[in-house]
A and B are shown apart, each in its own frame.
Chain A
Amino acid sequence: MTTGRPLHLAAEIGGPPRYEPDHYLGLARLAEGGALDYVTLGDSFARPGPDALSVLARIAPATDRIGLVPTVDTTHTEPFHVSSAVATLDWVSRGRAGWSADVSSTEAVARLFGRRPAPPAEALWREAGEAADAGARLWDSWEDDAEIRDTATGRFIDRDKVHHIDFEGEAFSVRGPAIVPRPPQGRPVTVIDGTTAPARAVAARHADVVHVRATTPEQAAAARADVHRLAAAHGRSARELRVLVALAVDLGDAETAPEPGLESGPPLAGHGTYFRGGPVDLAELISQWYRAGAADGFHLTPITPARDLERIVNGTVALLQHRSLFRTFHPGHTLREHLGLARPASRYALARTAGERR
């Protein structure tokens, strides 16, 4: 059976550190050619490599449809700056931005900032949730039609449609409103790796897309059900979020491998479960899991980006398209459209119009 939902595919384009934009542009265009939903670019303050959000902004004008999702640290950054930067990525990509919220738990990263020791994981993820919450409120803080340019009254904006957010959290507070007007998607897409319990709790509440790890379709289905259950506790429905299985993939050099499959041994840190096999084998796995209703899609991390992404797109994706399991083009323009996620209304606009009706 199928889930009755479109299959979603995303790919990581990071790897050994590179500093030339053309390297990343080539990979993103490859993924775009395969009609993938989005590419991610992993990042950490402690790992060699350029700032991921900057790289994806650099390639945004040279790509057309592919979603752009950089990893953004919420532990050592300012939530106000982060929300502005992600909103700006949405403006420069015309509605294709997301961000993968992550935390930094190591003392080594804390020492790069020297501001405070790394808090324990629970607190880190609570703070990440606050950053996601404050960010979403800032994206809502300008209603879509706040800019009026009314020459009769001399007003550039309608200030009744620009709102303070007055966010008070454990770790920080933000008064608002945003500096950046409401981005094209309303809210850029929030992605969170919900592997660990504290991360999953935050993801279920704040994320649009949740990455989970699993070595069997049953595990994946259980993780997805768990995310849905946790989300429902916050009044969210399964329609509002997508759960993608994260796989690190090594496609080798052959179409199929003698013994394809997942390795449940130590997975590569941060990259999900490790798949070894050919592009055809990967297509088989995706088909089976998807037909079993185990996931909304897959986030694939090629072990060797240049080689494996080419094999994913021209091998695995082509086969899935041939089987009519995956789209052959992007019917929409924005990342939310690719993911089938509605463009949210500003909560302040809803509150204001509700108030006006009373």
Chain B
Amino acid sequence: MHLAAHFPGVNSTTVWSDPRSGSQIDFTSFEHLARTAERGKFDFFFLAEGLRLREYDGRVHDLDVVGRPESLTVLNALAAVTDRLGLAATVNATFNEPYELARRFATLDHLSGGRAAWNVVTSSDAFTGENFRRGGFLDRADRYTRAAEFVSTARELWDSWAPDGVPRPFAHHGRHFDVCGEFTVPRSPQGHPVVIQAGDSDEGREFAAGAADVVFTRHGTLEAGRAFWADVKGRLAKYGRDSDDLKIMPGVTVVVADTDAEAQQDAAEIRRLQVSPQNAILALEQVWGRDLSSYDPDGPFPSVDPEPESGFVQGRVRVADPFAVAAKWRALSEEKGLSIRETVIETTTRQSFVGSPQTVAAGLTAFVDGKAADGFILVPHLTPGGLDAFVDRVVPLLQERGAFRSEYTGSTLREHLGLAEPVWKG
């Protein structure tokens, strides 16, 4: 089993009102979570990316945790206070250029002694594009062709230094990139930093099967996980890859307490704090695409219909079919007699593993044994102490079961993940 720790940046699940909730930006917070993950022998530490603050109705959204450091810079600093932990940065392939990014990731790999990973994401968002030279955006199909060419160009750059330490001039002339010259960073300890991909669309799955070392998913149930696992692993053969060459790691939350009953109680309380009255209305506005601030979160659903083509929500993906979601939520509310807030809590809960340390350890192991996951990216609801209980109470049980390592056996992230060093293609 592989384990990773996510430091949540901009999000609506961090319970920032909890007195134990610390800074989202001070380096000490990042250091605490990373050191906890390393104490738990985790494979890697994972950061998402933000390139534009979310807006609602033309104003910056103010209810959620917001503000975060730039990932690669923080990870380089974390390399100084950790020894073995992998360091994964999400960096957009739409608003960057291959040469610069390949250089920054190769640098992180050198400076961390082979612990760098790149989570490749794309953007189709003109709203985000307003912060960049490129200005515009790419349509859905182009996003992935650019991302695929971006990654292959980066790999050509990483391969342009032979293992003997001699650089070769490189030239890449493709549809999206036309670059040539000499790369300034020698081949790094991992050969290529680990490539992670997140994205559940058909294009995303194909891209992952062809180019990624790790896939980050959100499939929370055993059945959905098994279906995703089978589908993505089934695509590997046509790229000449084996099942073990790609690790599938869903993002999950864990609530652990002395007993199952206590953990269920804690989980309900966490959900109530995550979905404040204001956040309940906001969740509704995301589906409806319009201002619903006059509605009572403890009252019934609005009778108005969603606005299909709405610019109300910016910087956040809107549900594909708002009418269907609205109908489903209304029906659930009527059937069970739930208020707006209760309905939102019921429908958006994604707590994956809730229970005693034994229950959680058994649940995680069942996912891996059942071919629904190769491991997990844990998303704590508290920063920076949200993984302490998991590391202190669940990890030892996983180690006793032989499901998780007791010590690091390698020094690089590729070694932790059991991934072969990429063959040099000079």
A residues at B contact (CB < 8 Å): 17, 19-21, 45-51, 53-55, 57-62, 76-81, 84-85, 87-89, 91-92, 94, 108-109, 111-115, 142, 147, 149, 151, 153-159, 162, 171-177, 179-181
Q: In the assembled complex, how far is the CB of residue A117 from the closest CB belonging to chain B, in whole angstroms?
A: 12
Q: A45-B103, A55-B107 are in contact. Are A91 and B81 (CB under 8 A)?
A: no
9 A–B contacts from the bound complex (CB under 8 Å): A58-B76, A76-B100, A108-B181, A114-B178, A149-B17, A156-B64, A174-B132, A176-B131, A179-B70
In the complex the two chains form, what is the Cα distance from A58 to B76 in whole Å?
A: 5
Complex interface: chain B residues within 8 A of A147 (CB): 67
In the complex the two chains form, what is the Cα distance from A109 to B179 in whole Å?
A: 10
Q: A61-B31, A94-B27 are in contact. Are A159 and B62 (CB under 8 A)?
A: yes
Interface segment out of the listed B206-214, B262-270, B274-282: B274-282
In the complex the two chains form, what is the Cα distance from A80 to B130 in whole Å?
A: 10
Q: Which residue of A lies closest to B184 (CB)?
A: A48
Q: Which residue of A lies closest to B79 (CB)?
A: A58
Q: A156-B16, A159-B59 are in contact. Are A58 and B77 (CB under 8 A)?
A: yes
Q: Which residue of B lies closest to A84 (CB)?
A: B70
The answer to whether A174 touches B131, judged by C-beta atoms less than 8 angstroms apart, is: yes
Task: Verify if B25 is at the interface (C-beta below 8 Å from A).
Answer: yes
The answer to whether A87 touches B70, judged by C-beta atoms less than 8 angstroms apart, is: yes
The answer to whether B60 touches A159, judged by C-beta atoms less than 8 angstroms apart, is: yes
Complex interface: chain B residues within 8 A of A177 (CB): 53, 60
Complex interface: chain A residues within 8 A of B10 (CB): 179
In the complex the two chains form, what is the Cα distance from A45 to B157 in whole Å?
A: 13
The answer to whether B80 touches A179, judged by C-beta atoms less than 8 angstroms apart, is: no
The answer to whether A179 touches B186, judged by C-beta atoms less than 8 angstroms apart, is: no
Q: In the assembled complex, how far is the CB of residue A44 from the closest CB belonging to chain B, in whole angstroms?
A: 8
The answer to whether A51 touches B104, judged by C-beta atoms less than 8 angstroms apart, is: yes
Residues 25-80 of B at the A interface (beta carbon under 8 Å):
25-27, 31, 50-53, 59-70, 72-74, 76-77, 79-80
Q: A19-B186, A111-B179 are in contact. Are A80 and B132 (CB under 8 A)?
A: yes
Complex interface: chain B residues within 8 A of A46 (CB): 181-182, 184
Complex interface: chain B residues within 8 A of A154 (CB): 63, 276-279
Chain A, interface SS category: mixed
Q: In the assembled complex, how far is the CB of residue A219 from the closest CB belonging to chain B, in whole angstroms?
A: 34
Complex interface: chain A residues within 8 A of B62 (CB): 155-159
Most buried by A among B99, B130, B131: B131
Complex interface: chain A residues within 8 A of B278 (CB): 153-155
Residues of B in contact (CB 8 Å), total 63
Task: Verify if B110 is at the interface (C-beta below 8 Å from A).
Answer: yes
In the complex the two chains form, what is the Cα distance from A20 to B111 in whole Å?
A: 6
Can you name 9 extra interface pairs (CB under 8 A) apart from A54-B73, A81-B70? Answer: A19-B185, A60-B80, A113-B97, A113-B99, A153-B278, A154-B63, A159-B62, A175-B52, A180-B67
Q: In the assembled complex, how far is the CB of residue A218 from the closest CB belonging to chain B, in whole angstroms?
A: 39
Partner of A54 from B60, B63, B72, B131 at Cβ < 8 Å:
B72
Partner of A162 from B31, B60, B74 at Cβ < 8 Å:
B60
The answer to whether B277 touches A179, judged by C-beta atoms less than 8 angstroms apart, is: no
Partner of A157 from B31, B50, B60 at Cβ < 8 Å:
B60
The answer to whether A181 touches B72, judged by C-beta atoms less than 8 angstroms apart, is: no
Render B119-132 as a binary contact track against A, CB cut-off 8 A, 1 for contact.
00000000000111
In the complex the two chains form, what is the Cα distance from A79 to B63 in whole Å?
A: 28
Task: Verify if B95 is at the interface (C-beta below 8 Å from A).
Answer: yes
Residues 142-174 of B at the A interface (beta carbon under 8 Å):
167
The answer to whether B181 touches A59, judged by C-beta atoms less than 8 angstroms apart, is: no
Partner of A179 from B67, B130, B180, B185 at Cβ < 8 Å:
B67
Task: Verify if B135 is at the interface (C-beta below 8 Å from A).
Answer: yes
In the complex the two chains form, what is the Cα distance from A244 to B108 in whole Å?
A: 32
Complex interface: chain A residues within 8 A of B95 (CB): 78, 81
The answer to whether B73 touches A88, judged by C-beta atoms less than 8 angstroms apart, is: yes
Render B177-194 as a binary contact track against A, CB cut-off 8 A, 1 for contact.
111111011100000000
Q: In the assembled complex, how far is the CB of residue A133 from the closest CB belonging to chain B, in whole angstroms?
A: 15
In the complex the two chains form, what is the Cα distance from A119 to B413 in whole Å?
A: 41
Q: Which residue of B lies closest to A165 (CB)?
A: B131
Q: Which residue of A lies closest to B56 (CB)?
A: A159
Task: Verify if B133 is at the interface (C-beta below 8 Å from A).
Answer: yes
Q: Which residue of B lies closest to A116 (CB)?
A: B133
Complex interface: chain A residues within 8 A of B70 (CB): 81, 84-85, 87-88, 179-180
Complex interface: chain B residues within 8 A of A112 (CB): 99, 179-181
Partner of B73 from A17, A57, A76, A174 at Cβ < 8 Å:
A57
Q: In the assembled complex, how far is the CB of residue B191 from the closest CB belonging to chain A, in whole angstroms?
A: 14
Q: A57-B77, A76-B100 are in contact. Are A111 and B181 (CB under 8 A)?
A: yes
Task: Verify if B96 is at the interface (C-beta below 8 Å from A).
Answer: yes
The answer to whether B73 touches A50, judged by C-beta atoms less than 8 angstroms apart, is: no
In the complex the two chains form, what is the Cα distance from A62 to B31 in whole Å?
A: 13
The answer to whether B72 touches A115, judged by C-beta atoms less than 8 angstroms apart, is: no
The answer to whether B178 touches A55, judged by C-beta atoms less than 8 angstroms apart, is: no
Q: Which residue of A lies closest to B77 (CB)?
A: A92
Q: In the assembled complex, how far is the CB of residue B112 from the closest CB belonging to chain A, in whole angstroms?
A: 8
Q: In the assembled complex, how far is the CB of residue A142 from the closest CB belonging to chain B, in whole angstroms?
A: 7
In the complex the two chains form, what is the Cα distance from A140 to B26 in whole Å?
A: 18
In the complex the two chains form, what is the Cα distance from A114 to B131 in whole Å?
A: 21
The answer to whether B64 touches A113, judged by C-beta atoms less than 8 angstroms apart, is: no
Complex interface: chain B residues within 8 A of A19 (CB): 110-111, 185-186
The answer to whether B132 touches A54, judged by C-beta atoms less than 8 angstroms apart, is: no
* 6 closest Cβ pairs, A-B complex: A154-B278, A92-B77, A88-B73, A57-B76, A175-B130, A114-B178
Q: Which residue of A lies closest to B186 (CB)?
A: A19
In the complex the two chains form, what is the Cα distance from A149 to B67 in whole Å?
A: 13
Q: In the assembled complex, how far is the CB of residue B110 from the closest CB belonging to chain A, in whole angstroms?
A: 4
Complex interface: chain A residues within 8 A of B103 (CB): 45, 50-51
Complex interface: chain B residues within 8 A of A114 (CB): 177-180
In the complex the two chains form, what is the Cα distance from A154 to B106 in whole Å?
A: 42
Partner of B111 from A21, A47, A61, A87 at Cβ < 8 Å:
A21
The answer to whether B67 touches A49, judged by C-beta atoms less than 8 angstroms apart, is: no
Q: In the assembled complex, how far is the CB of residue A17 from the closest CB belonging to chain B, in whole angstroms?
A: 8
Partner of A91 from B69, B80, B185 at Cβ < 8 Å:
B69
Q: In the assembled complex, how far is the CB of residue A98 from the closest CB belonging to chain B, in whole angstroms?
A: 14
The answer to whether B180 touches A180, judged by C-beta atoms less than 8 angstroms apart, is: no
Complex interface: chain A residues within 8 A of B76 (CB): 54-55, 57-58
In the complex the two chains form, what is the Cα distance from A187 to B213 in whole Å?
A: 39
In the complex the two chains form, what is the Cα distance from A24 to B107 in whole Å?
A: 13
Q: A49-B184, A92-B77 are in contact. Are A179 and B178 (CB under 8 A)?
A: no
The answer to whether B111 touches A54, judged by C-beta atoms less than 8 angstroms apart, is: yes
In the complex the two chains form, what is the Cα distance from A112 to B63 in whole Å?
A: 42
Complex interface: chain B residues within 8 A of A108 (CB): 181
Q: Which residue of B lies closest to A110 (CB)?
A: B181
Q: Which residue of A lies closest to B61 (CB)?
A: A159
Partner of A61 from B81, B106, B180 at Cβ < 8 Å:
B81
In the complex the two chains form, what is the Cα distance from A260 to B63 in whole Å?
A: 65
Q: A80-B51, A87-B70, A181-B67 are in contact. Are A173 and B135 (CB under 8 A)?
A: yes
In the complex the two chains form, what is the Cα distance from A238 to B133 in whole Å?
A: 34
Partner of B185 from A50, A109, A172 at Cβ < 8 Å:
A50
Partner of A51 from B16, B25, B107, B130 at Cβ < 8 Å:
B107
